[in-house]
Amino acid sequence: MDARARTPRGARKVAVGSGEPGGSDKEWRWRGWRAAARAGVVAAVGFLGALVLLVMVFGGRTGRMAAFSSAPGTGFFVQKPVYEASLVHEHVAGPAPPTRHDQDRLLGGLLSPAFDENSCRSRYASSLYRRPSPFRPSTFLLERLRRYEARHRRCCPGAPLFKEAVEHLRSGRNAARSECQYVVWTPINGLGNRMLSLASTFLYALLTDRVLLVHAPQEFDGLFCEPFPGSSWALPAGFPITDFAGIFTMGSPTSYKNMRQAGAVSRDHRNVTAESLPAYVFLDLIQSFTDAAFCEADQRVLAKFNWVVVKSDVYFATMFFLMPAYERELSRLFPEKEAVFHHLARYLFHPSNDVWGIVRKYYGAYLARADERVGLQVRVFPEMPVAFENMYGQILRCSEQEAGLLPKVAHKDGAAANHSSAVASGSRNNKLTSILVTSLFSDYYERIRGVYYANPTETGEFVEVHQPSHEREQRTEARAHNQRALAEMYLLSFCDRIVTTAVSTFGYIAHGLAGVRPWVLLRPPSPEAPVDPACVRSKTVEPCLQAPPRRVCGVAEGTDIGALVPYAGHCEDEHKGLKLFP
């Protein structure tokens, strides 16, 4: 692994709690920590061996275990490392991040250098915590992004062209095609769904030369930095449309699907003039949407609207790759098909300074020392309430099935004897592996932590287990909950290996940002039924479009849409779903 990419991964000193916002930083000497570890301060233990070892977990170990891991809480917080008493530490400034070429800082040119770094500290820093991306953005994508940024500045809120467009909207009539056309995104469902649909909406803006604006309710406000230099993507106060939740429903008369069914618009664009259309159109692209938005005839009609409002909770970007009209441009934008979301997400989504402060502090306290980081994301859905023992058993089987996925514990035979002998002779393996558990519940963290506490690893390596929070239920309407969720997505994306739960959009975001193909814990056919195999390695970094249209325009009914183009197929975790492959 490139040492530059492990930042402060590659640093010999790690500042605990370094970064924003402030507070005094403490720096731990790597060698001092290793010496303390050899002295037995660190519990060096392993994971997921034979079932007989699991019995050892349950007996009266809770008090001892709590001293060796970051305990989860309903609040996202940073504890002092448990090794503090034995460490040699200095009160000096934290380590400077490694010097990197400007193209790395800008993600190969994906990001504009025009921002003030202090206004959004994560923008140019978050890549330092990950391995270098295996994908490079195309020159054509970089050119289109710079062109988009210039258009956004001309048409953004506050600009004269925006004021003119709003006046037309307020009048209730559509104007002849103007220089500035808009797509307004409005959120629905959880944060992962929102980020997937927002990235898709931005791709739609790129393909149709529209300007992306965001309707951000209170719980969404303050999560991300502005992505476009010198302008804003947020709808300003006084925007003519206010009741987004009340107006934009499946039965809305402004829905394009409903307009078509009512005969208000014709599918033949030659019979439609811009002036004859309403002031805006609503695209309802949630879960069970139809094919209306993804037919080329419809796209030509939609192009006549100056204002389009999109409401979606899915990664509908995949559908554009099935449309011949966009095929050539998309192939130039994304020659590596599995990197579409990876590039869009790294360009768009930069945690605000408040969220980034949480990420930096937690990483510095618990993950920075590790030689390797393994992310385990466990999501149990209310509609499929899999029992804890069943899900934990699936994690066990996944670990056994995928050799080396998680550190193995030693058996009570020669391996354990060899481990003890190695400790006595001082030849112990000094590798440290950190396992980051993200889940609404603490049960998985507690069980895994117990296994590592009770048993040595086969290799003698050290293992830590951490979980930032456990809130027991998803609360999308709470801003603080969304901040913690975003922070955990980013922490998970800093891991070298990632295990996610099937159909979890939280997991999609994390491995998409990381550019890592995850191991996916497959969904059982029923809450009680075992699943075999327990997990599979995804063949692509791309998220899954879990609810694609049942039909595609110009294709016979019953045709498998997963076989229409060579780079699209069905998802490992949702067979009816659709995703892009290399």
CA 523 to chain centre: 20
Cα separation, 171 vs 378, in Å, equals 49
Between the alpha carbon of residue 421 and those of residues 1, 49, 418, the distances in Å are: 30, 20, 5
Residue type at 218? Answer: Q
pLDDT of residue 481: 82
Residue type at 318? Answer: T
Helix (H) or strand (E) segment spanning residue 186: strand 182-186
Of 2 and 294, the one with more pLDDT: 294
Of 454 and 267, the one with more pLDDT: 454
Query: Contact, 378 vs 435, CB < 8 A?
Result: no
What DSSP letter does each residue of 350-388 carry, written as one string?
-B-HHHHHHHHHHIIIIITT-SEEEEEEE---TTS---H
Read off the pLDDT of each residue in 183-210 and give the average, rounded to a whole number: 96
Cα separation, 481 vs 478, in Å, equals 5
CA 116 to chain centre: 24
Read off the pLDDT of each residue in 59-87 and give the average, rounded to a whole number: 35
CA 313 to chain centre: 14
**Residue 131, token pair as written in the block:** 């391995």
In the block, residue with structure tokens 């249209």:
549
In this model, does residue 410 exceed pLDDT 80? yes
In this model, does residue 36 exceed pLDDT 60? no
Report the share of the chain in percent with pLDDT over 70: 76
Cα separation, 486 vs 228, in Å, equals 20
DSSP E strands in 419-501: the ranges are 432-439, 462-466, 497-501
* Average pLDDT of the chain to the nearest whole number: 80
pLDDT band (50, 70, 90) for residue 6: very low
Helices and strands per DSSP (H, E), number in the chain = 19, 15
Q: pLDDT digit string (tens) for 472-487?
A: 666 666 788 899 999 9
pLDDT of residue 65: 31
In this model, does residue 94 exceed pLDDT 60? no
Query: Contact, 440 vs 474, CB < 8 A?
Result: yes
Cα separation, 458 vs 421, in Å, equals 12
Query: Contact, 455 vs 43, CB < 8 A?
Result: no
Query: Contact, 269 vs 276, CB < 8 A?
Result: no
In this model, does residue 415 exceed pLDDT 90? no
Helix locations, 180-323, DSSP H: 191-208, 244-247, 256-262, 296-302, 317-320
Of 272 and 301, the one with more pLDDT: 301
In this model, does residue 53 exceed pLDDT 50? no
In the block, residue with structure tokens 């309407």:
477
pLDDT of residue 266: 72
- Angle at 304 (CA atoms; ends 303, 306), nearest 5 degrees: 90
CA 326 to chain centre: 26
Of 332 and 178, the one with more pLDDT: 332
Cα separation, 225 vs 78, in Å, equals 23
Cα separation, 397 vs 77, in Å, equals 32
Q: pLDDT digit string (tens) for 478-535?
A: 788 899 999 999 999 999 999 999 999 999 999 999 999 999 999 998 888 889 999 9
pLDDT of residue 292: 62
pLDDT of residue 174: 86
DSSP E strands in 240-338: the ranges are 281-285, 307-312
pLDDT of residue 492: 98
pLDDT of residue 56: 34
Report the range of poorest mean pLDDT among 214-223, 288-297, 537-546.
Answer: 288-297
In this model, does residue 471 exceed pLDDT 80? no
Name the residue among 258, 266, 273 with its Cα closest to residue 306: 273
Cα separation, 74 vs 484, in Å, equals 10
pLDDT of residue 310: 95
Strongest mean pLDDT among 268-277, 345-354, 472-481, 545-554: 345-354
Query: Contact, 42 vs 36, CB < 8 A?
Result: yes
Query: Contact, 297 vs 256, CB < 8 A?
Result: no
Read off the pLDDT of each residue in 270-276 and give the average, rounded to a whole number: 76
pLDDT of residue 286: 83
Residues contacting 455, CB < 8 A, separation 6+: 45, 46, 49, 53, 56, 409, 410
Tally of residues, the chain: 582
Read off the pLDDT of each residue in 529-558 and give the average, rounded to a whole number: 89
**Residue 558, token pair as written in the block:** 């019953």
pLDDT of residue 216: 85
Between the alpha carbon of residue 210 and those of residues 84, 120, 149, 184, 479, the distances in Å are: 54, 25, 11, 10, 29
Q: pLDDT digit string (tens) for 102-125?
A: 558 899 999 999 999 999 999 999
